[in-house]
Amino acid sequence: MVNRFAALAACSLIPLGAAPIASADPGDDGPPPDNGVVASAEPGVVTSPDGWVLTVVAKDETQLPVAPLTTAVSSREYLVGGTFTGTVTGSGKTSLNGGTLEAGYQIGCGIELGQVRLIGQVGIGTSGSSIPGANLLPTGLSFPISGTIEIHAKPGTVSTVTVDKKTFKSAPVRVTLKDTHIKVDGCVGQSFLRSYATLTSSTTDTDDVVAYYGVTKAV
pTM exceeds 0.75? no
Local structure of 11: helix, strand or coil: helix
Local structure of 75: helix, strand or coil: coil
Domain boundaries, the chain: 35-115+155-218
- Write down the pLDDT at residue 206: 94
- Write down the pLDDT at residue 182: 85
- Write down the pLDDT at residue 145: 54
DSSP letter at 115 equals E
* pLDDT, tens digit (0-9, with 9 covering 90-100), for 183-198: 877 777 788 899 999 9
- Write down the pLDDT at residue 35: 85
18 pLDDT more than 90: no
* pLDDT, tens digit (0-9, with 9 covering 90-100), for 111-152: 665 544 444 555 566 555 555 555 555 556 665 655 554 444
Residues 6+ apart with CB under 8 A from 26: none
> To 5 degrees, how large is the angle CA 160–CA 82–CA 33?
95
- Write down the pLDDT at residue 157: 78
CA distances from 9 to 3, 19, 134 (A): 10, 17, 95
- Write down the pLDDT at residue 15: 42
CATH architecture of the domain with range 35-115+155-218: Sandwich (2.60)
